[in-house]
Amino acid sequence: MSRTLLLVGLLLAPMFVHAELVPAWLLRLPESTPTVFIAETSTSAFHRFDRAGDSVVKIRQDYMSIGQGGIGKERAGDQRTPLGIYFVIEQLDTTRLHDKYGVTAFPLDYPNALDRRHGRTGDGIWVHGVDPKGGARPPLDTDGCIALPNDRLLALEPSFTANVTPVLIATELSWDEAGAVAAVRIALEQSVLYWASSLEQGDMYAWLSLYDDSFEHWGMNKAEWSAFSLGTVGQRPIEAVTVSDLLLLADPVEEGLYLSRFRLEISETASNNVISMRRIYWRRSESGALKIVAEDSG
């Protein structure tokens, strides 16, 4: 039986086709991800960007406070705000919490796969409101969270979606020429395509060649994980692989590091379909090739 590969929405028109400068980290936003927030710590600005057809537009920015310890969280209790790409995981009812959390709160998924790879610890990093009786808020004011004025957080509330909305935390917002951003996007789309097609065709050696020698997963190094994959994924009777809702973001801290997040559907014989959300972190090697350095689900 011939194999088929379906990658939904990967061959559409480029996200950025104009000559002007565009946000450098927002490489590809699918319809399922209409909003991305970027927290710019150097200016205490919380930026909202929305998908608008084949473009991304800045909607507005709001004042924010971050951790009393500044940026670059490394361990629990350091009162620092982490830098990187995070996702909203839920919305909390703050009526029974301390007044400092304000009208509502949106926890982020710190520590993510990259944080764990670097040995970073701690948790409880939220985007939340402020104490209504607290007065003026200085730029460095929280235990590591991002705090917005209550009225502004309520206005933004509909744009926060659990397990969908990304929040990038960076020192300074970056812009680049549309052509350069499109080139990176295309290279990443091709890498995801090759990853999926190799998996569908059962070419495990081509699939594993995309993983960097430094890759670690579930406590296994690259060699151990490769052997494990050959004995598990490599033995599955895969008939088709579908990738959809592809989100592509550049890391706001490390140049040449990227995140692809997508819905993965694997169709096997005996009418068994397995659906998951996959996150794959790519790093450009010295040779220019994109290699996988970490991955996660959700």
Q: What is the mean pLDDT of residues 54-77?
A: 96
Neighbours of 196 (CB within 10 A): 23
Task: Quickly state the pLDDT bin for 20 (edges 50, 70, 90).
Answer: confident
Amino acid letter, residue 57: V
Q: Which helix (H) or strand (E) holds 264?
A: strand 257-268
- What pLDDT is stored for residue 271 in this prediction? 73
Q: What is the mean pLDDT of residues 94-117?
A: 96
Q: What is the pLDDT of residues 220-271, one digit of tens each?
A: 999 999 999 999 999 988 999 999 999 999 999 999 999 999 999 999 876 7
Q: What is the mean pLDDT of residues 85-90?
A: 98
- What pLDDT is stored for residue 211 in this prediction? 97
For the chain, domains (ranges, CATH) are 4-13+177-297 (3.10.450.50), 33-173 (2.40.440.10)
For 245-270, give one letter per residue: b (16+ CB within 10 A) or e. bbbbbbbbbeeebbbbbbbbbbbeee
- What pLDDT is stored for residue 89 in this prediction? 97
Q: What single-letter DSSP state applies at residue 197?
A: H
Amino acid letter, residue 92: L
Q: What is the mean pLDDT of residues 147-166?
A: 97
Q: What single-letter DSSP state applies at residue 163?
A: T
- What pLDDT is stored for residue 269 in this prediction? 77
For 81-98, give one letter per residue: b (16+ CB within 10 A) or e. bbbbbbbbbeeeebeeee
- What pLDDT is stored for residue 53 in this prediction? 86
| Mean pLDDT of all residues belonging to the chain | 92
